[in-house]
Amino acid sequence: MKVFKFGGASVNSIERIKNLGPILESFKADQLVVIISAMGKTTNALEKVAASFFEGNKITALSLFHDIKTNHLSLAQALLTKGYAACELQLADFFTEVEWLLHDNPVRDYNYYYDQVVCLGELLSTCILSHFLNEAGILNKWVDVRDLIRTDNNFRDANIEWQASSEKIKSLMNQEIGKSSNIWITQGFIGATDDNESSTLGREGSDYTAAVFANVLDAESLTIWKDVAAVMNADPKIFLDAVTIPVLNYTEVIEMAYYGAQVIHPKTIKPLQNKGIPLLVKCFLDSSLAGTQIHNKLIKNLPPIIVLKPNQVLVTMTTTDFSFVGDHHLRELSGLMESLHLKPNLMQTGAISLMISLDDQVEKISRLAEVASGIFDVQIEKGLSLLTIRHYTNDTIEHYLADKKAVLQQRSRETLQFLY
Ligand code: ASP
Ligand code: MG
């Protein structure tokens, strides 16, 4: 059993959807669970529908929704001939679910409505894809993942109930797989509560869903199909000398995600690591490329890994009475940051001052400055960038930092962080 995950970019056009056929075909000897995201920017578009509805702009919400509906229907029409009517019928059910809701007035909180609307993207994409593949002779079974993934009702960032979900996944799998087909097509990112209300797992959560399936089903591997050749040591759009990394381990991937590399959703790793399931990152544009293999073993000789976080603010807080920075200062500050959902990217304490580099979320930063100014003198410096280099060497430091002036820097044995 293998688990595959295809992201929004792999299903954002007719050509790309058609391209999945040969990839799946080449694995026909395997049992596959295929997790798919919403097409292209559908999730963003649905977010706008939910926001308009909640702000009371029913007409806007319905018209934005109408556009999403038309796009999906015309895509289905372009992809399908015999199977179009059946697909349209199934899509119509999903559309109706949301349209009913949009005709009402909001009485519950925003996150609840967000999930009821935004979950649609994955349902639509998988529905079209499943019909298309069946018509192309790649027989598969479409499954509503809301029947399998149970979550709590922390809408928009729901937590999976492992016990219940894993029982449901296993029992359906035992009944179904191999009977009608060897391929299951289902959705990432979404689930349902005990009350059968839709929930979502947080943006970009499809990788995580795929990892959950891989864990529960003891899959031999999870493959995440992307539009890049492999995981790279830096963003190739910024660093022209970026290279692919053929082998990585889970720890390194977690570190990369922590420092801001947009490789794989950080929640994805634990379910795989717990069972030692290898994670493969492959390119859907050219499946013959080797990609990256991620496992549990120790790896030597990794290239330097470079992560650039632009748009940083340095907040410097100095005690007003010339006293040393003490535990109570740190406690108050971390409480404040927690309440504002701010996460420091780099932090350093001195005798009478504290320096923190944060993403420039304008409102939150000014709120932080406002409250902190009750305890400290606060200074703010904007327009900075944070460069992190893992496995740095003298050469890499020279290469990446020679022409830059540090505002703050920190070094451990493995990692160098440089704010400039
Ligand atoms: N469609 C969702 C998003 O865009 C989930 C995902 O793609 O992983 O965030
Ligand atoms: Mg995505």
Give per-residue pLDDT as tens, 319-354.
Answer: 998 889 888 889 999 999 999 999 999 999 999 999
- Which pLDDT does position 262 carry in this prediction? 84
The stretch 210-234 carries a mean pLDDT of 96
Considering every ligand atom, which ligand is closest to the CA of 41? 1
Give per-residue pLDDT as tens, 101-160.
Answer: 999 999 999 999 999 999 999 999 999 999 999 999 999 999 999 999 999 999 999 999
- Which pLDDT does position 172 carry in this prediction? 87
146, 108 in Cβ contact below 8 A? no
How far apart are the C-alpha atoms of 147 and 274, rounded to whole Å?
25
Using most ligand atoms within 8 A of CB, pick from 200, 203, 208 the residue to mutate for ligand 1.
Answer: 203
Please report the domains of the chain, with CATH numbers, ordered by start residue: 2-227 (3.40.1160.10), 305-419 (3.30.2130.10)
365, 329 in Cβ contact below 8 A? no
Is the dihedral angle over the CA atoms 248, 250, 254, 255 positive or is it negative? negative
The stretch 19-35 carries a mean pLDDT of 95
Place of tokens 């920017």: 41
What atom in ligand 1 is closest to the CA of residue 265?
Answer: 8
- Name the residue with the closest Cα to ligand 1, atom 5: 204
Those residues with Cβ within 8 angstroms of residue 280's Cβ, 6 or more apart along the chain or in another chain: 221, 222, 223, 224, 291, 292, 293, 294
Q: What's the pTM?
A: 0.91
Percent of the chain with pLDDT over 70: 100
How far apart are the C-alpha atoms of 298 and 233, rounded to whole Å?
17
Considering every ligand atom, which ligand is closest to the CA of 125? 1
The burial of 375, by beta-carbon neighbours within 10 Å (0-12 exposed, 13-18 middle, 19 or more buried), is given as middle
Using most ligand atoms within 8 A of CB, pick from 10, 34, 43, 156 the residue to mutate for ligand 1.
Answer: 43
Ligand 1 neighbour 191 (Cβ under 6 A): no
Ligand 1 neighbour 312 (Cβ under 6 A): no
211, 28 in Cβ contact below 8 A? no
